[in-house]
A and B are shown apart, each in its own frame.
Chain A
């Protein structure tokens, strides 16, 4: 066991992943020379038709075998209808011991739990795990530990070959007869296909699954046809209405709106808020709603943003339309308005996950961010943030671009209500470190604001914005006066998941819940 830079003990190696590198600090690890790892090269006959009649036929054509790795995107979020039928088909065909490497898993994927139990899937590498699958992982019911990565980390893993995708199954809302794909030209759009680009470039085989093969060639192409091996037409690939979940929907919750207003006031008081600034808001009602209040400050002071990034909602689209944001870089579209805007507005640009956040390319766009506003399930007195495990210690959410943007942005604001259902969010040590405290500058709660001691410069302008600044320990004590101090969660020693920092080092492990 090695103690890493956030004080967590990391084993030297673990089954299914071999040697592990402990996290050394968000800017400390420089990899030795790694070559990009590509997919296999094939030559098909010039007259072949890549359209196949069923998912089974496509699985057969790719030569998928026991022990291989398959991938999916989660752009349809809770409306996804592709991952489950593919895994059901794989199970029917008797293929086992697969690694499932989607960009993330969402609630409807619960139904694959039996296939995890039957060892059709034995390893999961993902940004997030929710509900039943999260519980299974936390109970040690998955053969190998789960590996959590960030969105940027996933792009890196695929480029460097740490995740070697054998077959990428891509839900393709817009798909023409050649296999050119986009997420917008469809009656069931999902908007950006940002997480899939990297899969299509690096997988050995790519299967596009669509509900409509267009005979007219697409003009806005997210994934070019020459990367697509097969096309399968099915009845449904996803329900766009279910993309907007509580985490991505525009909120009317007064507490979220209050936190959003405070955050916007702080940004407006910061030296970063000037004409040509850039920002991102993470998922979660309060973080997303910050844009709404930021708009008021932008109008008042005649300030325009050069660009905004991330998961994009109607909020940012509104600002783009009004000329308050010059360019939107969209890695995933959180609602229908965002999808339509990306289709119709040339200044709303689709970006892939490497462009967004890969730490080992020549400069992901997160490095150009001035401000990011992020949510949290827990924050500790060292400002480390947990966004994956719940207050009961069970895996329930996703890492997303949290640590990527926190690292890249010049100002990282984490916002959270001071307690949820009686459980305080500020703790001595977060259950799971996803983003290291060294990359978090400000914690905003409705009962006070705390500033990371390494950013003492910030305190003055928060006071200028009219808000008092608390020591995070005092804030924690004040909140515990209302909530009391929760009993610690009991874990066993068994490691059920690894949390990989964006650079590939291990920032934390998640242990099995004690019964």
Chain B
């Protein structure tokens, strides 16, 4: 099993686009989302499933997280998608429109059957439920802890705003509460929290602000629809040199008095401060024990 250390960016790749599939791994995203759902028209579901299966079999994705978004369980494509994709062992499968624990159980039953049929140990396939309705947001914590397969939960902004009967804005105020709830639920359930896409690919500043907001809410990363968005997302999530320097100072200071409270430049350094410094360093790719 691949160890996924960073989930700052997940690049959506339409499953019916050979040229995008073959190149999606070179843009530096932490993960790719090979999509069989909304970016593929209903007439191309079979060809996209075939193409994504071929891509998983033959392309070298390196060490990035490879996730396939399948069609929802209430469509005629879901079972075929899972049967084709599970034996190819992507890092995870994104499950659209999960609104309740029951939904997760239904998906999980199907996944387990297919794993069994293919002699894959039950539980191997990891999942990422997508919370895209008001009720899903209300159930966020229950969903997040409903299965051991869950590695992350994510919010689906487009469907959610439709369900909330609000318009998506540049500022994203309409999603604030839902996002906060998802981030909190993910933290409580000890899974990653992943954010929805920022759909205006030409608005770099808007993307930067949106990413800053979700970072502050506690998200681990964000989906994107154009490779040009990856760098901006990473810039927001990457600690600045000043943040790294400060984190190193904190770790060093904490070593002086193992387990207890110390002071650094007149400020109290206790366990949560040290913990945050460790998170900063690991986001910068630095192992705190190397300090």
Contacts and interface: CB of A to CB of B under 8 A. Distances in A.
Contact of B228 (A252, A447, A482): A252
A481 B60 CA distance: 10
A447 B26 contact: yes
Interface string A235-272: 00000000000000000101101100100000000000
A254 B13 CA distance: 13
Contact of A258 (B22, B27, B59, B60): B27
Contacts of A446: 23, 26
Interface in B1-30: 22-23, 26-28
Contacts of B26: 255, 258, 446-447
Contacts of A258: 26-28, 227
A510 to B, nearest CB: 29
Interface in B53-79: 59-60
A498 to B, nearest CB: 36
Q: Chain A at the B interface: mostly helix, strand, loop or mixed?
A: helix
Interface in A64-113: none
A482 B226 contact: no
B227 A482 contact: no
Contacts of A257: 227-228
B27 A482 contact: no
B227 A254 contact: yes
A265 to B, nearest CB: 12
Nearest to B58: A482
Contacts of A255: 23, 26, 227
Interface residues of B, number: 11
Contacts of B60: 481
A322 B98 CA distance: 51
A261 B28 CA distance: 12
A254 B228 contact: yes
Interface string A474-486: 0000000110000
Interface string A261-290: 100000000000000000000000000000
Interface in A121-139: none
Contacts of B227: 254-255, 257-258
Contacts of B28: 258
A447 B27 CA distance: 10
Contacts of A252: 228
Contacts of A481: 60
Interface in B210-228: 226-228
A441 to B, nearest CB: 22
A254 B22 contact: no
A286 to B, nearest CB: 13
Contacts of B231: 261
A99 to B, nearest CB: 42
Nearest to B229: A254
Nearest to B18: A422
A252 B226 CA distance: 10
B59 A254 contact: no
Interface centre among A252, A254, A261 (most CB of B within 10 A): A254
A148 to B, nearest CB: 31
Interface centre among B22, B26, B59 (most CB of A within 10 A): B26
Interface in B22-62: 22-23, 26-28, 59-60
Interface centre among A255, A258, A447, A482 (most CB of B within 10 A): A258
Contacts of A482: 22, 59
Interface string B226-250: 1110010000000000000000000
Nearest to A257: B228
Nearest to B23: A255
B20 to A, nearest CB: 9
B234 to A, nearest CB: 12
A497 B226 CA distance: 42
Nearest to B228: A254
B159 to A, nearest CB: 26
Contacts of A254: 27, 226-228
Nearest to A447: B26
Contacts of B22: 482
Interface in A362-377: none
Contacts of B226: 254
B173 to A, nearest CB: 29
Contacts of B27: 254, 258
Contacts of A447: 26
Contacts of B23: 255, 446
Nearest to A421: B19
Nearest to A293: B231
A482 to B, nearest CB: 6
A8 to B, nearest CB: 33
A446 B231 CA distance: 15
A427 B263 CA distance: 62
A258 B28 CA distance: 9
Nearest to B20: A254
A14 B213 CA distance: 70
Nearest to B26: A446
A482 B19 CA distance: 12
A455 to B, nearest CB: 24
B23 to A, nearest CB: 6
Nearest to A419: B22
Nearest to B28: A258
A304 to B, nearest CB: 23
Nearest to B24: A254
Contacts of A261: 231
A254 B228 CA distance: 6
Nearest to A478: B60
B191 to A, nearest CB: 30
A482 B59 CA distance: 7
A252 B228 CA distance: 8
A104 B22 CA distance: 35
A261 B234 CA distance: 15
A258 B60 CA distance: 19
Interface in A430-474: 446-447
A481 B227 CA distance: 24
A279 B246 CA distance: 38
B236 to A, nearest CB: 16
B278 to A, nearest CB: 24
Nearest to B11: A254
A447 B28 CA distance: 11
Contacts of B228: 252, 254, 257
A178 to B, nearest CB: 48
A255 B231 CA distance: 13
A258 B230 CA distance: 11
A200 to B, nearest CB: 43
21 contacts: A252-B228, A254-B27, A254-B226, A254-B227, A254-B228, A255-B23, A255-B26, A255-B227, A257-B227, A257-B228, A258-B26, A258-B27, A258-B28, A258-B227, A261-B231, A446-B23, A446-B26, A447-B26, A481-B60, A482-B22, A482-B59
Given A254-B227, A258-B27, A482-B59, 14 more contacts: A254-B226, A254-B228, A255-B23, A255-B26, A255-B227, A257-B227, A257-B228, A258-B26, A258-B28, A258-B227, A446-B23, A446-B26, A447-B26, A481-B60
Minimum-distance CB pairs A-B, first 9:
A254-B227, A446-B26, A254-B228, A258-B27, A257-B228, A447-B26, A254-B27, A255-B23, A254-B226
